[in-house]
Amino acid sequence: MINFKQFIEKAFLTEEKTQDFVNFASKELNLQEIPKIFLVNTRDNDMTTANYCPETKKIKVYCKGRAFFDIARSIAHELIHHKQLEDGQELDGTTGSDCENEANAIAGQIIRKYGQENPDFYE
């Protein structure tokens, strides 16, 4: 479930488009459950462009001034951390860790696949 209450700023960021991407990525990852996703226009102290909280299973994505495909990549990255947790992996958010490298690589693959099926994705 995506919470649009906090942030809808640009016409290209619609609930329908975002939900379609989340459904696509979740299916690609074979998630058991889709975590709650919050799109926000201010960053928390521990946040760069997005974060995943394993205790609450919530994703927050910073959206202000970002293109939809960039927001989608952040969503995919954090969904991968959720999948890692579902698979029993210990999460390590350290730059260069296996956990982060895997999330970066797979998020890129998901973005490319989605873009191939949705040509207007990068507009």
51 alpha-carbon distance from chain centroid: 9
User: 2-118 is classed in which CATH architecture?
Assistant: 2-Layer Sandwich (3.30)
Pairing state of beta strands 50-53 and 58-62? antiparallel
Confidence of residue 8 (pLDDT cuts 50, 70, 90): very low
Domain ranges in the chain? 2-118
d(CA 47, CA 58): 13
Helix 98-117 vs helix 68-86: crossing angle, to nearest 10: 130
pTM of the model: 0.88
Average pLDDT over residues 69-93: 95
pLDDT in tens, 13-55: 678 889 999 999 999 999 999 999 988 888 877 788 999 999 9
60 C-beta neighbours (distance < 10 Å), count: 24
